[in-house]
């Protein structure tokens, strides 16, 4: 697959934006400037970016508790995301959702979700609507390895397969569900094998390799868009940090395991590749990185200065009132 | 106007709203053949697979179809065959559908109707006889309806389908075969408005579903003894129309609340607590509650009969508050 | 596998008992002498019998709404089953459960279930207990094709596989879930393929062929008993009658389809085989059949004469009171 | 005796009962590392994989482990990490665990404890802050416990594990870090027995979980104004110890019921309805209820603060019944 130089750089930029967004989100949480639980996407950037770069602006995604990366990849604005983390009125959710419920319906981002696997039935519904409305939008459902053990996942994939709904199930297998290794939770080594239970394609992908993700996602998206029905993409990846925040100290992970995956940092790999291909010089890459850092610092400053929600916001948005 | 069963009225409401609005569709188990109670009879022939979506036995996924589709502009009707089966769909109903608008700071509008069939019905036993409306009345973001006759069923369901919020529409099974005059044209009743089914002076009975019929029977019986009973059907259980209920109790000074669900923590507790609080100075007697005993629903018809609250239990309550001896 | 003549005849007897039990249950329901819903096992007898004949008396089963056959196959007494259908005090459940909740814990029959697929998590729990108690009992979980689309099924099989729990998942694929053909509900042609999602063996079996079921079940039971973990057996079969009772008239099934499967009546096939093998003469078989009919008529008469539950039984068995 | 947090008290109860009875085991998500709140800390090291069963993220299956294992003689403790997650396990809890004994005509004994963590807790937002105890109080066959301090937590949980019925044991999250003197030895408190946490003459406050602490604070404040408040903690929400509550209200003639859950259809509705009925002749003022407003739980700390019922809301209720101005 041909990727233009410009596109390669944009994808690097997107990964950097996600990384720098979350590194800061982690620190803000540690400083108690951000409340609630922040689940970091660090290490998994190639998946969100590789998949969302295969989508159109009018396509949809559903996300998870670990959703910042999906939002940014689908066009979410870090300013409004930080504002939401800061519980400000101009956050995407007006301060009422926080990290676990970040959503931007106008960008096709149906939302993060605090309930493991709950996005799968919702993604099914969104994809069903695209068939119903006879548009050619597709829906991507992101979820973790652990989520594939919830009944919701199973029911949704089965129904999607039956309806040939235009949905791509993207499993981010990061080796853990909270503090439990995947192998102790999930009865198959390759979650892609679960596709066989639904008669749909299942593919194992190196989730640290942006090009691999992008290519596989492109195929699945094309299939879904042309009426070929759902696919299951399993992206093997790694959670660089702890389940929530950077280090809770609950789980001792093997330092060798960490080192192995850190060496396969998707951003590092992609940057090296672009440098090798001569797409970007090391100096350019550093400058790009610095500009992303600047963007995030500015976004935090902007968000921090936003107003709080009105206290009466507590009582609004419970119901939709009839138009007057 | 013509005489229709509640089943037919429900069917007609769905049919007419589907005809009226392309965005309305039904998803559920065996809806293709009309659903287990016939509420979708004939609709598949008319609207086809696209709009009468016969799903797998996957209540969580099928409810998710509703949530996802509504979030992007459709108006789903989601049928959960029997109310006890909501237990496998609670996450999508409670954590997603009910909360999404709020969690998203208002971004989402979720015009979903979840229809289901509740209550005891000829020895269906403990897993097919539940009345769980109180659970949903405890969940902000949902509206909860329970009509007691065909007319209300059509009007309320029509309004529910047109409403922009998630609505749980509960048919009490023992009402489905009752019939009355129902307009043939589409019509919507306002949600959140109770109806005085019979006026009276001495006692207010607030009843839901089948118990409305029982309460009207009791009112008739007591009229013969010179006791004048007002019967109120809230119809919408969430939000409750307390104004109508309180106005009545302030007039009669006595109230009984009656439903088929288990009495403890049933919707009757909320209504009784509010009457007792908000009409405190008007009450001449304690507010009594009629509901099922604190047991699962037994299979044996003999036990089921004893389980089911009805006329006798309401009359007991009337006696307890000293209106009869 | 060697099956003694005596055993072959016993298995025929068991199938006949199930058939004659349910033919009568259907009629009693039509006559409104039995209340509630009665789901008939007619046509599926080879599965219950083939599987349960592979079990020991101290093994366990969980059953479904279509459970009469499982009960009889596992040693249930038709007298007490009819008594339960008649809602009598001496029914297995004291008249409180009815057809959909029939159980006999002392026979290892954990119970029918009114919730599709709910037996799967329970069977997992029972099998877990056998591991915990370090006995070598196995648990069979019976369920329909439709049940494999419920999340409960998925979660239970995954956990069973992880724990290597001694449970055998037996799918009775009778082509329908209520009035919906399996193909419109289930995204794979062979439900046995779903085993791949859990890394356990999955086998397709002719559910009309008692010997085939018996043999496959024997292997799966031996594997489970020896610590080899769960299996998924898919038995292809057919529901001779309607979803509830004999004919509701809701679903028009293709007469050819019915004729095809009727010709493959598991009792007919097995009886023919025994006659061919010379195990049983046609006269013997007729006599056997007649004796089974007699047994069932006597069971109904017995059950009918049993006392009703005491009206206060409504209030008992809600809680276990502490021993005095 | 030593000072322990509620978390430590829960941990100790589980530990001691596991030591005492081989049949007791724990199954749940991440219980191997002690669970999300540390209630199982150290237990895996002591009891290993066999008895501390770290499950997949499969609440329905893991609850089924409890049902099946209990049916054949074990005594499971099933942990549902956060109360909102019960929504995916409701069938096993409500249709199986709660009803099995009854449906089977008494054949089954199901000594299961389902432990979970409920309520608002530093901006966990709408899907991790629920208090759903009223749902379970509506289900015959279950017992429901909600302790407000470490002492009660240990005594009640010990009793729950020894009880032969399914018990839902709910830790209100904002109580987990509170501490008090707790016996080091195993001890069981009776289930179904409320405790008078403070004696008083003028007003009865029935409170649950964290609201007990708030109610005691209020009682202290009001004592300074010469108002004597009796505070009752039901501890067991199902079955309710109405005798203790009614005895108190008959003495004080005034009652407020307070809990963190949404007020509408909360357990407070049941308690208020029963007080209003059964102490009708003794009441000098309507029974007031304090509970969360009818909204999902917001994320913003500012809104969460406003959402959470506490001392201020109880004081408002005291004012409403005219005890203060
Ligand atoms: C139904 C439900 N159960 C449990 C949880 C608690 N929980 C939050 S995230 C998580 C782990 C999810 O693992 P995985 O799906 O692999 O996603 P990851 O965090 O690894 O990205 C768990 C158990 C939850 N939020 N919802
Ligand atoms: C959770 C749940 N959903 C729906 C039903 C209604 N229902 C009862 S049996 C049945 C069909 C089950 O199909 P299958 O599993 O193939 O079993 P079969 O009846 O064919 O033996 C359905 C949908 C139910 N009892 N429980
Ligand atoms: Mg993971
Ligand atoms: Mg079937």
Pair B205, B230 in one domain: yes
CA distance A203 to A190: 9
A205 by DSSP, 3-state: which? strand
Predicted TM-score (pTM) of this structure: 0.98
Q: What's the Cα-to-Cα distance from B83 to each of A1, B130, C16, D236, rounded to whole Å?
A: 52, 6, 37, 28
Does residue A300 register a pLDDT over 70?
A: yes
Last residue of a domain, one of B182, B204, B230: B182
In chain D, how many H helices and how many E strands?
12, 14
D69, D95, D107: residue with CB nearest C105: D107
Q: Same domain, yes or no, for D13 and D97?
A: yes
- Which residues of chain D are within 8 Å of residue C132 when distances are taken between CB atoms? 25, 50, 69, 74
The domain tally of chain D equals 2
CA-closest candidate to residue B144, choices B314, B310, B271:
B271
Is residue D249 a contact partner of residue D286, using CB atoms and an 8 Å limit? Answer: no
Could you give phi then psi for residue D114, rounded to 5 degrees?
Answer: -100, 115
Joined tokens for residue A10: 């944009």
Residue D273: predicted pLDDT: 98
D257 → chain B, closest CA residue: B273
Alpha-carbon span D199 to D212, nearest angstrom: 13
Contact B61, A124 (CB under 8 A): yes
Catalytic residues of B: 59, 128
- Closest ligand 1 atom number to CA of residue A65: 9
- Tell me, yes or no, whether B80 lies in a domain: yes
Of B306, B304, B307, B273, nearest to B288 by C-alpha is B273
Residue A184 C-alpha, separation from nearest chain C C-alpha, in angstroms: 7
Other Cβ atoms less than 10 A from the Cβ of C322: the count is 10
Tell me: do B174 and B252 sit in the same domain: no
Strand pairing report for B236-238 and B143-145: antiparallel
Residue D111 in domain:
yes
What is the layout of strands, in order, in the sheet containing D113-118?
A: D52-54, D24-28, D75-80, D113-118, D167-172, D143-145, D236-238
Which CATH number is D134's domain given?
Answer: 3.40.50.970
On whether both D132 and D83 belong to a single domain, the answer is yes
Would residue D325 count as lying in a domain? no
Encoding tokens for residue D168? 């839902």
Tell me, yes or no, whether D40 and D166 share the same domain.
yes
The encoded tokens of residue A65 equal 């508790």
Closest residue by Cα to residue D113 from D10, D183, D232: D10
Residue A324 has pLDDT above 70, yes or no: no
- Assess contact for D19 and D26: CB atoms under 8 A: no
Please check whether residues B221 and B295 belong to one and the same domain. Answer: yes
Q: Is residue D187 part of a domain?
A: no
What pLDDT sits at residue A248?
67
Ligand 2: which atom is nearest the Cα of residue C116? 26
- Tokens representing residue D286 in the block: 């309507």
Domain C5-306 carries which CATH code?
3.40.50.970
Question: Radius of gyration over alpha carbons of chain C, in Å?
Answer: 19
Strand D167-172 relative to strand D113-118: parallel, antiparallel, unpaired?
parallel
**Which of D238, D264, D288 is the closest to B138 by Cβ?**
D264
Question: What are the E-state strand segments in chain D?
Answer: 2-5, 24-28, 52-54, 75-80, 113-118, 143-145, 167-172, 179-182, 195-198, 203-207, 229-233, 236-238, 255-262, 288-292
Cis peptide before A240 (omega within 30 of 0): no
Q: What are B207's two structure tokens?
A: 């009843």
For residue A36 the two structure tokens come to 């609630």
- Residue D148 at interface with chain B, using a CB cutoff of 8 Å: no
Residue B291's Cβ-count burial label (10 Å; 0-12, 13-18, 19+) is buried
Beta bridge partners of B27: B53, B78
Nearest CA in chain A to B162: A322
B56 and B25 housed in the same domain: yes
Distance C192 CA to ligand 4 centre (A): 14
Q: Is the CB of C177 under 6 A from ligand 2?
A: yes
* H/E element, C291: helix C282-304
Pick the residue from chain C with its C-alpha nearest to B299: C96
Contact residues, chain C, for A149 at CB < 8 Å: 154-155, 158-159
Over residues A154-173, the pLDDT tens digits come to: 999 999 999 999 999 999 99
> Do residue D160 and residue D199 come from a single domain?
no
Residue B213 lies in a domain: yes
Does B242 lie in the same domain as B173? no
Known catalytic membership, residue D128 = yes
* DSSP code string of B216-263: HHHHHHHHTTT--EEEEE-SEEES--HHHHHHHHHHHS-EEEEEEEES
Residue B133 lies in a domain: yes
Mean pLDDT for chain B overall:
98
Given a contact cutoff of 8 angstroms between Cβ atoms, the answer to whether C180 and B53 are in contact is no
Give pLDDT tens digits along chain C (324 positions): 689 999 999 999 999 999 999 999 999 999 999 999 999 999 999 999 999 999 999 999 999 999 999 999 999 999 999 999 999 999 999 999 999 999 999 999 999 999 999 999 999 999 999 999 999 999 999 999 999 999 999 999 999 999 999 999 999 999 999 999 999 999 999 999 999 999 999 999 999 999 999 999 999 999 999 999 999 999 999 999 999 999 867 678 999 999 999 999 999 999 999 999 999 999 999 999 999 999 999 999 999 999 999 999 999 999 999 876
CATH number assigned to the domain comprising residue D254: 3.40.50.920
Atom in ligand 2 nearest the alpha carbon of residue C39? 19
Those residues of chain C whose CB sits closer than 8 Å to some CB in chain A are 149-155, 157-159, 161-162, 184-189, 193-194, 196-200
Q: How many helices (H) and strands (E) does chain A have?
A: 10, 8
Q: Which ligand lies nearest to the CA atom of residue B96 in the structure?
A: 1
Last residue of a domain, one of D149, D182, D215: D182
Residue B31 lies in a domain: yes
B157 plus B279 within the same structural domain: no
B144 and B68, same domain (yes or no): yes
The pLDDT assigned to C324 comes to 65
pLDDT given for residue C21 in this prediction: 98
Segments forming the whole domain that contains residue B11: 2-182
CA distances from B239 to A67, A230, B140, B144 (A): 34, 40, 9, 7
Q: Does the structure show a pLDDT above 80 at D269?
A: yes
Residue A252's pLDDT is what? Answer: 82
Q: What ipTM describes this predicted complex?
A: 0.98
Q: Is the omega angle on the peptide bond into residue B215 within 30 degrees of 0, that is, cis? A: no
Domain boundary among B156, B182, B208: B182
Q: Report d(CA C27, CA C10) in Å as an integer.
A: 26
List the structure tokens of A135.
């548009």
Residue ranges of D 20-79 with Cβ closer than 8 A to chain A: 29-30, 32-34, 36, 54-60
Residue D190 in any domain: the answer is no
> Residue C248: its pLDDT value, please?
67
Choose the closest CB to C98 out of B30, B125, B293: B125
Condensed to tens digits (0 to 9), the pLDDT of residues D78-125 reads 999 999 999 999 999 999 999 999 999 999 999 999 999 999 998 999
d(CA A145, CA A147): 5
- Give per-residue pLDDT as tens, B37-95: 999 999 999 999 999 999 999 999 999 999 999 999 999 999 999 999 999 999 999 99
């Amino acid at each position: 697959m041909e990727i233009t130089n410009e596109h390669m750089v944009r994808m690097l930029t997107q990964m950097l934006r996600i990384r720098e967004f979350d590194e800061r989100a982690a620190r803000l949480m540690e400083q108690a400037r951000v409340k609630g639980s922040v689940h970091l996407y660090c290490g998994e950037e190639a998946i969100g970016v590789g998949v969302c770069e295969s989508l159109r602006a009018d396509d949809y995604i559903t996300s998870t508790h670990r959703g910042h990366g999906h939002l940014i990849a689908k066009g979410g604005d870090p300013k409004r995301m930080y504002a939401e983390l800061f519980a400000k009125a101009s956050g995407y959710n007006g301060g009422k959702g926080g990290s676990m419920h970040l959503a931007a319906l106008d960008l096709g981002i149906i939302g993060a979700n605090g309930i493991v696997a709950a996005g799968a039935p919702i993604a099914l519904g969104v994809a069903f609507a695209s068939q119903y409305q006879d548009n050619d939008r597709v829906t991507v459902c992101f979820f973790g390895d652990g989520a594939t053990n919830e009944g919701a996942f199973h029911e949704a994939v089965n129904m999607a397969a039956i309806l040939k709904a235009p949905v791509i199930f993207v499993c981010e297998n990061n080796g853990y569900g909270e503090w439990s290794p995947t192998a102790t939770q999930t009865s198959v080594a390759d979650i892609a094998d679960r596709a066989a239970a639904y008669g749909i394609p299942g593919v194992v992908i190196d989730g640290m390799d942006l090009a691999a993700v992008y290519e596989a996602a492109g195929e699945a998206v094309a299939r879904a868009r042309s009426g070929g029905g759902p696919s299951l993409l399993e992206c093997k990846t790694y959670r660089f940090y702890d389940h929530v925040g950077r280090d809770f100290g609950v789980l001792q992970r093997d330092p060798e395991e960490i080192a192995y995956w850190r060496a396969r940092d998707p951003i590092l790999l992609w940057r090296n590749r672009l440098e090798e291909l001569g797409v970007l010089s090391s100096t350019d890459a550093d400058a790009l990185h610095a500009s992303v850092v600047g963007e995030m610092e500015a976004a935090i400053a902007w968000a921090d200065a936003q107003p709080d929600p009105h206290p009466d916001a507590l009582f609004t948005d419970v119901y939709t009132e009839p138009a007057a | 106007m013509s005489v229709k069963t509640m089943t037919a009225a429900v069917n007609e409401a769905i049919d007419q709203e589907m005809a009226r609005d392309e965005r309305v569709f039904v998803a559920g188990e065996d809806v293709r053949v009309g659903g287990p109670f016939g509420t979708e009879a004939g609709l598949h022939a008319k609207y086809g697979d696209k709009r009468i979506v016969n799903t797998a036995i996957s209540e969580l996924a099928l409810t998710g179809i509703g949530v996802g589709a509504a979030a992007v502009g459709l108006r789903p009707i989601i049928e959960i065959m029997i109310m006890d089966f909501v237990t496998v769909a609670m996450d999508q109903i409670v954590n997603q559908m009910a909360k999404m608008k709020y969690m998203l700071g208002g971004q989402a509008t979720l015009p979903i109707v979840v229809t289901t069939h509740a209550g005891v019905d000829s020895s269906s036993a403990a897993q097919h006889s539940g009345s769980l409306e109180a659970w949903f009345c405890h969940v902000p973001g949902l509206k909860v309806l329970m009509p007691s006759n065909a007319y209300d069923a059509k009007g309320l369901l029509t309004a529910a389908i047109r409403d922009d919020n998630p609505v749980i529409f509960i048919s009490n099974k023992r009402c489905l075969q009752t019939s009355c005059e129902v307009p043939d044209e589409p019509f919507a009743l306002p949600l959140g408005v109770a109806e005085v089914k019979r006026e009276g002076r001495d006692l207010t009975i607030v009843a839901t579903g089948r118990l409305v019929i029982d309460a009207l029977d009791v009112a008739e019986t007591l009229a013969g003894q010179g006791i004048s009973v007002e019967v109120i059907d809230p119809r919408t259980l969430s939000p409750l129309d307390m104004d109508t209920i309180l106005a009545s109790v302030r007039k009669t000074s006595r109230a009984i609340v009656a439903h088929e669900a288990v009495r403890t923590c049933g919707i009757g507790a909320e209504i009784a607590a509010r009457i007792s609080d908000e009409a405190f100075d008007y009450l001449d007697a304690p507010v009594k509650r009629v509901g099922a005993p604190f047991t699962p629903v037994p299979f044996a018809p003999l036990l089921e009969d004893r389980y089911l609250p009805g006329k006798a239990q309401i009359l007991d309550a009337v006696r307890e508050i000293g209106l009869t001896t």
